[in-house]
A and B are shown apart, each in its own frame.
Chain A
């Protein structure tokens, strides 16, 4: 393939981007000012750029199609890619703060679309700070699933406010999730697992999902298998701690 010879960052055999050319920092400061473009409001999100086959820019009839899943801190995009074929008609977006990682996922999705015509049209990625800009992307109650897989643990107490799950941020996630929507969290750090569970447990707009429901949900299995981070944990024989909660109407 001539194109790939011109572009050494893509693998010659698979056409997929090669990770070594997208070396990323492990962390990015979520508190610093953002200098990437942010949509002014959810109606400014251009879906035709993300999902050209689902939402063409010209026709306004299909404006009913909305993003329903959000993978917050999607990393290298493993979960999105697994979910894409599991829910082929659902639009989903990954949000990632690190610019290089976002570039990698973008290339990866484009390569997958090229290699599998008709597939992977329902996933996309955007570089943003989800802790600040969730309301800029999603209307009230728009989402049905949100994913927080292996988030940065931020061990130091003074950095706890950088954690992506906190009581105050759950208010915003509860706003973006429709009633009945599900929030999935998993980590290999026990301390963070306890923290996330405690935040969700004490929040009036979330309730724990029963064991039976967890068993029946095909997405739950992906939490500990689909992402690059979970595979790393599995390789090292590490433990994982998950918390899956449903958005409910608060008791008045």
Chain B
């Protein structure tokens, strides 16, 4: 009897795993990978692994990291996650300059374009803001507290982003919503003026980014979703400009053509600095889909699919610097059941996007990577990797994502069974 009461997965804590994340310094001075509670940073200037220094209350993260990000100027780095703390690091010394407590688990972070404010969102839909006023680069900031900025009503916020001109903060949630809010002059008093809502997705929104060029400095928002589409938006009005069915394309390319895979959620997207290309990662897709964005006609189209041959690699996160035209990809998962510790990740890089040499994008071999084995050993946890681990990892990430973000569906019998004691269900009159 008891088993009929609990849905599959509800009781299984093992399923709650976090995907590996990657972030690249804006001028590619360093690259960071987060797997589980592990934060791994590789420095290209010294061509060496970085050892982080954390003297703030309770060093390092104690649970899965859910969000990492560099500031636009590259001087700061923020990490946060399930252990309910937000850590702000100086990328100069890789010292943790500040640890901000959060009431709930953190699901997304963003830094204002002027690096004066750190915003983070929690699993209950509240976005908080911390001011970094008075920070000159070296000293520690003590007793920083976050102030509530805005809230989505009790919905997990999946992504946070500032508009290129810094006027708006954009938040996306699992209730299909994207909210565009005016970022106020005094953010600590809250952001109350909503510019627009971008509505059109029919599943959770998983990722946000902006495309912009010098001709279109205000840019357009792109979003990826569990409905397997990528959409282009005008944030000032909230109007939907174009929809691109990425899932359908990715499915066609799945050689094994499994029938039941009809909705491949978009897991991450990353726009190129010149604003014309967008790399998209989707569930079960061994590679990425490249979209091109035409800003004058405001349309999206699929350019090509870059498949990763010879290795089962389904990226869980994408990253790019604004200088070098390299797309960084990572796959991996925190504490995968039945596999060894520390958690493993796999890093791959695609190059060859230069306009000047219109060759095909190519996937760099491990020995072609700047930093070579040293980098891989740091970021991946080991140089050589077992392939089957990462297929299992991708599968675990997929399950975790749908458990977390997809609305639970109950059969009619189960719903009736749950409602059996409700007053309004009693038939006696």
Contact = CB atoms under 8 A, between A and B. Distances in A.
A171 interface: yes
Contact of A33 (B189, B408, B423): B408
Interface in B133-188: 148, 150-151, 153-155, 175-177, 179, 181, 185
Interface in B227-245: 238
A132 B153 contact: yes
Nearest to B197: A135
B424 A171 contact: no
Contact of A168 (B148, B193, B196, B238): B148
B194 interface: yes
A110 to B, nearest CB: 21
Contacts of A113: none
B153 A168 contact: yes
Given A24-B424, A168-B148, A168-B150, A136 B192 contact: no
Interface in A27-43: 30-31, 33-35, 40-42
Nearest to B426: A23
Contacts of B407: 33-35
B194 A25 contact: no
Interface in A151-178: 161, 167-172, 174-175
Given A132-B153, A168-B148, A168-B151, A25 B192 contact: no
B423 A250 contact: no
A167 B193 contact: no
Nearest to A203: B192
Contact of A140 (B154, B175, B176, B196): B196
B12 interface: no
B341 interface: no
- Interface extent on A, as a size class? 35 or more
A25 B199 contact: no
Most buried by A among B177, B185, B193, B200: B193
Contacts of A21: 429
B266 interface: no
Contacts of B194: 140, 171-172, 174-175
Given A25-B423, A33-B407, A136-B199, A161 B154 contact: yes
B355 interface: no
Most buried by A among B148, B151, B153, B424: B153
Contacts of B179: 135
Nearest to B202: A40
Contacts of B197: 41, 135, 175
A169 B193 CA distance: 12
B122 to A, nearest CB: 12
A132 B424 contact: no
Interface string A211-241: 0000000000000000000000000000000
Contacts of A205: 192-193
Contact of A250 (B126, B148, B192, B422): B192
A107 B50 CA distance: 68
A171 B182 CA distance: 11
B342 interface: no
B60 to A, nearest CB: 31
Contact of B199 (A35, A40, A131, A252): A40
A66 interface: no
Contacts of B408: 33
A135 B199 contact: yes
A171 B190 CA distance: 10
A23 B153 contact: no
A41 B175 contact: no
- Mostly helix, strand, loop or mixed at chain B's interface? loop
- Interface extent on B, as a size class? 20 to 34
Contacts of A171: 150-151, 181, 191-194
Given A132-B153, A205-B193, A23 B423 contact: yes
A169 B153 contact: yes
Contacts of A31: 154
B424 A23 contact: yes
A23 B428 CA distance: 11
Interface in A114-171: 131-132, 135-136, 140, 161, 167-171
Contacts of A168: 126, 148, 150-151, 153
Contacts of A23: 423-424, 426
A165 B422 CA distance: 27
Nearest to A205: B192
A135 B181 CA distance: 13
A131 B153 contact: yes
Contacts of B177: 135
Most buried by B among A135, A168, A175: A168
Contacts of A204: 189, 192
Interface in A173-229: 174-175, 203-205
A100 interface: yes
B360 to A, nearest CB: 38
A220 B423 CA distance: 34
A174 B190 CA distance: 14
Most buried by A among B185, B423, B426: B423
A140 B190 CA distance: 20
Contacts of A25: 422-424
B199 A250 contact: no
Interface of B: 124, 126, 148, 150-151, 153-155, 175-177, 179, 181, 185, 189-194, 196-197, 199-200, 202, 238, 407-408, 422-424, 426, 429
Given A132-B175, A168-B153, A205-B192, 18 more contacts: A20-B429, A21-B429, A23-B424, A25-B422, A25-B423, A33-B407, A42-B199, A135-B199, A136-B199, A140-B238, A161-B124, A168-B148, A168-B151, A171-B151, A171-B194, A174-B192, A204-B192, A250-B193
What are the 4 closest A-B residue pairs judged by CB atoms, nearest first? A168-B151, A41-B199, A175-B194, A135-B197
28 contacts: A22-B424, A23-B424, A30-B154, A33-B408, A34-B407, A35-B407, A40-B199, A41-B199, A41-B200, A131-B153, A132-B153, A135-B179, A135-B197, A135-B199, A136-B199, A140-B194, A161-B124, A168-B148, A170-B192, A171-B151, A171-B181, A171-B191, A172-B153, A174-B192, A174-B194, A205-B193, A250-B193, A252-B185
